[in-house]
Amino acid sequence: MTTSTQIQYLKGIGPAKAKLFERLEIQTVEDLLHYYPRTYQDRRLNSTPNEYNSESLVVFKGRVLRTQQIPARSVLIFKAFLEDEKGQQIECTWFKKRTFRAFRFDPFGTLKKDFHINNEVWIIGKREDKNNFFGNKVTVDEHYPAADVLTKLHAGRLTPIYGLTEGLTNKQFRQFVYEALQTPSLAAEPETLPPVLLSKRQLLSAPQALKAIHFPNSLAELESARARLAYEEFLLLATAWGIKRTQTKILAKDYSYEIKKTLLTPFREQLGFNFTNSQKKVINEIFKDLCSPRPMNRLLQGDVGSGKTVVALCAMLLAVENGYQAALMAPTEILAEQHFLTFKRILKGLKVNLAVLSSSTKAAAKKKILKELADGKIDILVGTHAVIQDDVKFHNLRLAVIDEQHRFGVKQRSKLKEKTAKLDLLTMTATPIPRTLALAFYGDLDVSTLSELPPGRQPIQTESATSKLAYDRVREEVKKGRQAYIVFPLIEESEKISAKAVTEEFEKLKKVFPDFRLAVLHGQMSQAEKESVMADFAAHKTDILVATPVIEVGIDVKNATVMVIENAERFGLASLHQLRGRVGRGEHESFCILVPQHAGSIAKERVDIICATRDGFKIGERDMHLRGPGEILGTRQSGELEFKAGDIFKDRDILYQAIEDRDELLSQDPTLTKPEHFLFRQKLTELYQKNWHLIDLS
C-alpha cells in the first residue's frame, strides 16, 4: 500500500464504496489525504468558545448511571443518565419513530450495548433547554464508547467535518482518512517543497501537515497545517505562472535608467514629510524594475490615503532625470486636474515641465500641448484617457502611470495595454478586488503593497444616522473652521439626471445652511467650472461641497473633516470606502456619516460593514462575499482560483510570501533544474499537465 494505491484497496472500502469516492474526485489514497475537512467541530472537553464551537453544542465524557426505555404512542424514547467528570448528572435522550420494523427488532439494541451501567461514553449533542443553566438535558447526535480505540478520532478533539456525498458518513470518512494516514510510505515520502523555503518559512513537513489538517491537536496546529498547505498551493501556481511569464517576457527595453538624483533629491527635500517605510520599500521595488532591462509591469496597491501619488511621482521623476517623458492617467478630469495641481505645487522650482490634458481641453490649448509633447518640451503629462488617443504623440514616453486603474472601462484598459506594451507601466489601485489579486498572481503583473498609512492619521468616525444629525455635525465642524462634503448617488447611472437631482438638493441645502458658503459639483459641468469649484474648495473659499460621486476617487483636501453620504444604500462597498477616504487626510478628527433612505438587508449589511471596518482589503473581501465571486471574478479566473487549503483573502500574507519566494526561486534557478528542486518541479509538472498550453517546462 502506497499513497498512489487506488482507494478501493484501502481497508473497509472496496469497489462499491469506491464509486462514492469517485463522486468526490477521490481515486487514490493520496487524493483522500488531500480531501481536506470542510470545517471542524470543537469536541474537546471544556473547550473555550471559538469559531468551531457553537453555543448549543454539548460535548462531554460520562459514566452511565442507569438507562430507561419509555413506550409512547408514536415515538419510542430511550434515556440514559450519565455522570460527567464534574459529578454532574446529565439526561440524554434518543427518539425513534415507531415503525413496523420496530415491533420486531429492538430499535435501541446497539444503544443498550454501548450504555451498559458504568460504561464510559462520549456524548456529542445539543442542549434541550437553552435556558437551563446547567444544560443537563441533552439530545444526542453522536456517541462514542470511550473504550473504543477509534473514539479518539471523533470525540475529545477538534473533529474534522467533511463535505460528503450520500452514502458516506463523517464517522466512516474520518476512519478512512485515519487509515490512509497510516500508509507506511507517507512518512517516508520526500519533501517536495525546496528545503530552503521550508526552513525559511518554518513550515510543517508534508506528512505533519496532512496529519494535522485532518486531526489537529490544537487550533494552533491546525493553523500551521493550513499555512503549510496553502503556501504550497500558492507557491506551485505562482511558480507555474512565473515560468510562463519569463517565457513570454521576451521584450527587452532599448533604453535604461540611471538614478542620478538631480531631481529626486531636491524633490525629497522640499516635500515637507518623510516617506513611510512602506513607501520606501515600494519605491525601491519600482526603481529596481525601472533599472532592469525588461519593461516594468507593476501594480501598486494601497488603501485609500496610503500615499500612492508621491510614490508614482518618484518613478516619474526618475524618468525625467534620465531625459524621458512620463504620463499619468486618471479616470476622471477632476482627479487629473488635482494631480496636476499637486505636482505643480510639490515640484515648485524644479526643472520639470508639466501639462494636463483631458477631453475638455480647449482646441488651441490642446494643439500647443501636442506640439510640445512631440518636441519633448513637456516632461510629465497628466490627464484622463485622452492621453492615449491616437493624435497624442510623445517624443520619448518611457513610463506610464495609471491611477485607480479599476475605474477605467474595459475598452480603455485594452487600449492602454496596447499603447503601453513596450513601456514601463505602473498601475495603482485602492481596491484590491479579487480580479486584481488574480492578475497579480497569474498575470504578468508584479505587485507592490503600501501596508501602512502616513503617521498622525486619525481614524475616521463612521456611523449611520439621519440627515438631521448629519447636518448638525456638518454645522459643528464648519463652525470650527473645517469643511464638509455632502454626496448624492448617481441616479440611473446617468450623469445628466444626477446632475439635475444634485442641483435641486443643492438649492435645498442652501436653505439648511444659510450662513455657510456652499458649492455644487457634478459631471455635467464644464472643465473650467469644475476646476474653479475644486480650487475654491481647496482654498477654503467654500465650506460645503455638494456633489455627485465624481469626487469619489483621489480628491485630497486636508481641511475637510465631514463626509455625508446621502442614500448610502445605493453605493457599493468599495465606493463607500473610497468616499470615506476623502476625509481624515489631515490632523483633524474626521467623520463619515451614512444616511440611508430605505435600507434593504444587503444595503444595511453594507452600511454596517463600512461602519465597523476601516481596512480596504477587508472591505474588498466582504464585497466579494456579499456580491458573490461570480460577479466580481471573470468566469475564466474563478475556476483557476480554487484552492483547497488556501484562501486568497484570508491568507493574503501567505500568498505574498509565496510570490516573493517564487521570485527568488526562479531568479536562482529559472528552469528548476537544480537537484534540490527536482521534486518540486516534478510536482509542478504533475499538477499542470492538464494546463500544458499554459506552461512549458520541457
Instruction: By CB under 5 A, name the binding residues for Mg ion.
Output: 554
Crossing angle of helices 573-580/601-612, nearest 10°? 40
CB atoms inside a 10 Å sphere around CB 254: 7
Residue 64, SS3?
A: strand
Residue of minimal Cβ distance to Mg ion: 554
Among candidate residues 215, 448, 151, the one with its CA nearest the CA of residue 314: 448
Q: Which does 322 bind (CB under 5 to 8 A by kind): ligand ADP, Mg ion, none?
A: none
Q: Which does 304 bind (CB under 5 to 8 A by kind): Mg ion, ligand ADP, none?
A: ligand ADP
Q: Which does 677 bind (CB under 5 to 8 A by kind): Mg ion, ligand ADP, none?
A: none
Residue of minimal Cβ distance to ligand ADP: 307
Binding site for ligand ADP (CB under 6 A): 273, 275-276, 279, 302, 304-310, 430, 454, 556, 585
Q: Which does 306 bind (CB under 5 to 8 A by kind): ligand ADP, Mg ion, none?
A: ligand ADP
Among candidate residues 671, 674, 663, the one with its CA nearest the CA of residue 235: 663
227 contacts 654 by C-beta, under 8 angstroms: yes
> What's the gap between Cα 225 and its chain centre?
21
- Cβ closer to Mg ion: 554 or 584? 554
Q: Which does 307 bind (CB under 5 to 8 A by kind): Mg ion, ligand ADP, none?
A: ligand ADP
- Cβ closer to ligand ADP: 275 or 287? 275
Cα angle: 555, vertex 561, 563; to 5 degrees:
70
- Cβ closer to ligand ADP: 207 or 266? 266
303 contacts 617 by C-beta, under 8 angstroms: yes
Q: How far apart are CA 391 and CA 544, in angstroms?
A: 39
- Cβ closer to Mg ion: 140 or 304? 304
Q: Which does 489 bind (CB under 5 to 8 A by kind): Mg ion, ligand ADP, none?
A: none
- Cβ closer to ligand ADP: 49 or 349? 349
Nearest 5°: phi and psi at 369? -60, -45
Q: Give the shortest CB-653-to-ligand ADP separation in angstroms.
A: 21
597 contacts 569 by C-beta, under 8 angstroms: yes
> Look-up: residue for cell 533604453?
255
Q: Give the shortest CB-556-to-Mg ion separation in angstroms.
A: 8
Q: Give the shortest CB-278-to-ligand ADP separation in angstroms.
A: 9
Q: Give the shortest CB-458-to-ligand ADP separation in angstroms.
A: 13
- Cβ closer to Mg ion: 584 or 596? 584
Q: Give the shortest CB-309-to-ligand ADP separation in angstroms.
A: 3
- Cβ closer to ligand ADP: 32 or 576? 576
- Cβ closer to ligand ADP: 304 or 370? 304
DSSP codes joined into one string, 140-206: EEEEEETTSTTHHHHSSSEEEE----TT--HHHHHHHHHHHHT-HHHHHPPP-S-HHHHHHTTPPPH
Rounded-to-10 torsion of CA 662, 665, 666, 671: -120
CB atoms inside a 10 Å sphere around CB 692: 11
- Cβ closer to ligand ADP: 82 or 312? 312
Q: Which does 454 bind (CB under 5 to 8 A by kind): Mg ion, ligand ADP, none?
A: ligand ADP
423 contacts 329 by C-beta, under 8 angstroms: no
Q: Give the shortest CB-577-to-ligand ADP separation in angstroms.
A: 11
Among candidate residues 540, 536, 596, the one with its CA nearest the CA of residue 564: 596
- Cβ closer to ligand ADP: 431 or 637? 431
Q: Which does 331 bind (CB under 5 to 8 A by kind): Mg ion, ligand ADP, none?
A: none
Among candidate residues 453, 248, 261, the one with its CA nearest the CA of residue 350: 261
Q: How far apart are CA 428 and CA 412, in angstroms?
A: 15
Residue 399, SS3?
A: strand
Cα angle: 577, vertex 417, 398; to 5 degrees:
100
- Cβ closer to Mg ion: 160 or 554? 554
Q: Which does 548 bind (CB under 5 to 8 A by kind): ligand ADP, Mg ion, none?
A: none
Q: Which does 302 bind (CB under 5 to 8 A by kind): Mg ion, ligand ADP, none?
A: ligand ADP
Q: Give the shortest CB-464-to-Mg ion separation in angstroms.
A: 26
Among candidate residues 587, 299, 553, 314, the one with its CA nearest the CA of residue 450: 299
| Contacts for 563 with CB less than 8 Å, ≥ 6 apart | 484, 485, 487, 579, 580, 582, 583, 590, 591, 592, 593
Q: How far apart are CA 69 and CA 81, in angstroms?
A: 12
Q: Give the shortest CB-583-to-ligand ADP separation in angstroms.
A: 12
- Cβ closer to ligand ADP: 604 or 618? 618
- Cβ closer to ligand ADP: 556 or 669? 556
Q: Which does 225 bind (CB under 5 to 8 A by kind): ligand ADP, Mg ion, none?
A: none
Rounded-to-10 torsion of CA 649, 655, 656, 661: 180
Q: Give the shortest CB-317-to-ligand ADP separation in angstroms.
A: 15
Q: Which does 332 bind (CB under 5 to 8 A by kind): ligand ADP, Mg ion, none?
A: none
585 contacts 454 by C-beta, under 8 angstroms: no
- Provide the edge-to-edge strand list for the sheet that holds 325-329: 354-357, 380-383, 325-329, 397-402, 424-429, 297-302, 446-450
Q: How far apart are CA 510 and CA 687, in angstroms?
A: 65
Q: Give the shortest CB-351-to-ligand ADP separation in angstroms.
A: 22
Q: Give the shortest CB-327-to-ligand ADP separation in angstroms.
A: 17
Q: Which does 463 bind (CB under 5 to 8 A by kind): ligand ADP, Mg ion, none?
A: none
Q: Give the shortest CB-357-to-ligand ADP separation in angstroms.
A: 20
Q: Which does 276 bind (CB under 5 to 8 A by kind): ligand ADP, Mg ion, none?
A: ligand ADP
Q: Give the shortest CB-304-to-ligand ADP separation in angstroms.
A: 5
- Cβ closer to ligand ADP: 184 or 349? 349
Q: Give the shortest CB-407-to-ligand ADP separation in angstroms.
A: 13
Nearest 5°: phi and psi at 482? -95, 180
